Structure 1
Amino acid sequence: MKISRRGFILASGVVGAGALAVGATQVNWTDLMTAAAQDPLRPDAGVLVVCTLYGGNDGLNTVVPAADPAYQKARPDLAYQPHEVLDLGEGLGLNPGMTGLKKLWDDKRLAVVRGVGYPKPDHSHFRSMAIWQTASPDSPQPTGWLGRWLDVTGDDPLRAVSIEPVLPPLMAGQRAAGATLPVTGLKLPTGALGKSFSLMGQAESGESPDQARVARSITDLHTTATKLGPAVKPSSDNKGQLAAQLDVVAGLVEAGVPTRAYSVSLGGFDTHADEKGTQQRLLTELDQALSAFADRMQRTDRGRQVVMLVYSEFGRRVGANASEGTDHGTAGPVFVLGSPVHGGFYGEQPSLTDLDNGDLKEHTDFRDVYATMLRDVLGEDPGKILGGHDTTVGGLLT
């Protein structure tokens, strides 16, 4: 079954109850650059980037227990051998396609939270993703967890921006919703018309405040096109859409846009057949995008305040199926990366022999991860947003 982001969003019911009720805002570059000029992001303000892996990524072939005999037995043809994976210690290794994240691990800028899930897991893509995006495992919830953060802290849609054509449910609140900024490219006129347009941005003595403001906006637009234009054009070097999305996020952070939370995504992880090659290709794309973004953010004051959270709606079954793939499972690893991160393992590695009807048992509630992001990155009391849940992952962030 191929799961599309749009299909999930339409089926989840969250956007209908939240974002569409208030009118999800699609912003443009002028909106963002004006905000950067009028209310710039503080250099010490935490910024959260949430990356959703749609389709249910196989956590056991991402953070691989290659030395575990139970893993080799459960996946005789799908398993990686110990010498193939990138050693992390404790008998675990990263998928061989994730060399960039291995470097972040070695630099202590990557944390792996193990066995993350929720009580009474659901194998449905739509229900499980709705649970993750609303942070409500017990009953359906009409709002997303970052949407509720907007409800609590202010209704400016520029404070939460999705670099996607449609707003994900996690950014849909009851009274407020984030904004969307599709990766469509930024192109200004060229030739004589472009020169004339550029000249309109030059300041003149004696001009009124309104004229000066218009001139500055034209200058800002040209600056934006120079800095961010290449990042938001369709990629010509096969980096992929996630890398393009993260290039945009990086440019906005560097420009001082006051957005505190971003959403990006990568799909295709529903690997019921021929998993090994497909997943490794996707994980390589993920790895290149994440590691390049993390290295770029490391170079600026604002960038060093950015934390990235990477999750999928569920892991996969322990045993391989007859099609050299894996079926819908439960708990999986969550990645947290960035300069404020204390790298290393968090949480308990699920047993491959003590299973729940063939599924891994969850050891870390995903709301603990969210509560950590809300408290330590966004500076808000998580209990107000997560229905009283305020347990965090200790020591994860500075």
Structure 2
Amino acid sequence: MGATVPLRAWSQDCAIAEMPRTLVNVMLQGGADLRFLFMPAPGHPDPVYTGLIWQARRVLYDSEYPDYETLFENEYLPAQDNRTGLQFGIHRDAEWLWRQFGEGRVAVVCNAYCSRNRRHDQSILNADAGEPELEVLNFDRNGWGGRLVEYLGPHVNSVELGDSVSTFNKGSVPGARLDQVVHAEDMRDMALAAGSVENPASARSVLARALSSWYDVRSQETRSEQPADWPWHAFYRHYESLRDFGGRVEERLSQCQPLAESLQSMQLASSGFAQQCRNLYDLCQVPDVLQVGAVSMNYGGWDTHDGEAGEIRRNLSDLFASSGGLATTTAAIEELPYRDVSPASQLVFYFASDFGRQLVANGTAGTDHGRGTYSVLIGQQVRGGVYGEMFPQREAAPDADGRIPLQTPGADIEGQTSTDRLLATAADWVSPGAGAVVFPAASGSGLEPGVDVGTLLADA
């Protein structure tokens, strides 16, 4: 099949590389209240449930709505699960997510858990490690992205698009955990400084050429002057690798698409996430240079103990609005040239967070730390729908102690499905057999009765 021509022309010098199947782990740092994102429709089969959730969470919203029906009409877009017929709402600030759900590209795994505790440090580590039952707080360890790329091969990399490398990316070998990690904080500025062609006499150009020459010469000298175990050899090897690698990325990007205008002009509340989105677009142009096998992104600001509505609406808009980061980025990626498979169809986004939030609002129009949550996967290869009981009846009924969760401060979503279960399925989609190796405990971990996460992805 010949190269597919998008609406925008591209340089004939650009080598079009096939994008491999790639999981994009998006960490929502702080503990996202995804019950704010998804709410039951006013016609929910259990009117007692909607009455209780209205009383439990009405103070979270900016407006004082007179009843649940008015709240739902103003805050939510109506959706229906084609698998079960369940009607529910997706928040209006997540219109792109709502449209993707309607197209069958969003899977919502209910009553999920990536940790059994409510501490940020331990829960973030558990999510990055892909081990929900982990109890040891030790960040010098591997992450599930690192294990996945090790399974894919010694030259495959986990690519971090944020401002710091997370545990998710780290490999299994102590002392060499970053050997298969690329930190792409700015894809358009990965090369070492070089002299300017337009202004070769500038101070920056002169200094760049001088430093480059000095390192080149000194590297050659130290090879003969110093013993093979001299520790500073590693510094010169790192310099040479960075110069070569960064130069190849810069050269390829200069031959291919410029940064899409929509991404250049994109304004988000989080400038950091906007940059990650631009990085993802460029990553899809040079997957062979990066040797990408997994991708890490993040968005902070989800610890909504007070004034939740303003914070979470901003976050949801940045991520999921029709003009938000993911809508803009995926639309731009869909216009990239390709030979056989569109790079956009090769991406699956998985959204993780430290933990969920409590069911009942606190006294400062926020929510406190919980445990269970919703896990969300988005992509063209996702078998969309709701997996599990979205609004469990047990939350509106007395528990063993006679307390109704939706009336009880401290009560949270009961986590039943361990996230390593669904991540093992996602890993098998990337490469058959990877799931059992990357997530060895998944087959025996928690799973909500009646739920089959093995069908989350096509051909998994």
Structure 1 match to 2:367: 326
State whether structure 2 residue 280 is matched by structure 1 residue 290: no
TM-score (norm 1): 0.75
Retained in 1: the 8 A contact 2:132–2:418? no
Whole-Å separation in 2 of the counterparts to 1:302 and 1:137 = 31
Show the 5 A alignment for 1:1-398.
42-43=18-19, 45-65=20-40, 67=42, 68-78=50-60, 81-83=71-73, 84-89=75-80, 90-118=86-114, 121-139=116-134, 140=136, 142-156=141-155, 159-175=157-173, 176-177=177-178, 178-183=181-186, 185-186=188-189, 189=196, 191-193=198-200, 221-225=250-254, 227=256, 230=259, 237-239=266-268, 240-257=271-288, 258-287=291-320, 288-299=324-335, 300=338, 301-351=342-392, 352-354=395-397, 355=405, 358-390=411-443, 393-398=453-458
- Match of 2:280, SS state, is helix
Whole-Å separation in 2 of the counterparts to 1:238 and 1:75 = 31
- Match of 1:75, SS state, is helix
TM-score (norm 2): 0.66
- Match of 2:367, SS state, is coil
Q: How far 1:321 sits from its partner (Å)? A: 0.6
Q: How far 1:284 sits from its partner (Å)? A: 0.2
Q: Which runs of 4+ in 1 moved over 6 A?
A: 217-220
Cα RMSD after superposing both structures? 3.3
> Where do 5+ consecutive residues of structure 2 fail to align?
1-13, 43-49, 62-67, 81-85, 206-242, 398-404, 445-451
> Where do 5+ consecutive residues of structure 1 fail to align?
1-35, 198-213
Of all paired residues, the percent bearing the same amino acid is 23
Whole-Å separation in 2 of the counterparts to 1:41 and 1:309 = 24
Q: How far 1:254 sits from its partner (Å)? A: 2.8
Q: Deviations over 1:59-117 (max 9, x none)?
A: 11011235322210111222572212011222421111011111111222222222211
Query: Amino acid of the residue matched to residue 99 of structure 1?
Result: E
Whole-Å separation in 2 of the counterparts to 1:218 and 1:128 = 38
The alpha-carbon distance between structure 1 residues 238 and 390, as it changes in their structure 2 partners (threshold 3 A), is: same
Retained in 1: the 8 A contact 2:113–2:132? no
Whole-Å separation in 2 of the counterparts to 1:102 and 1:269 = 20
Q: Which has the larger radius of gyration?
A: 2
- Match of 2:108, SS state, is strand
The alpha-carbon distance between structure 1 residues 348 and 190, as it changes in their structure 2 partners (threshold 3 A), is: farther
Count of residues in correspondence between the two structures: 339
Retained in 1: the 8 A contact 2:304–2:312? yes
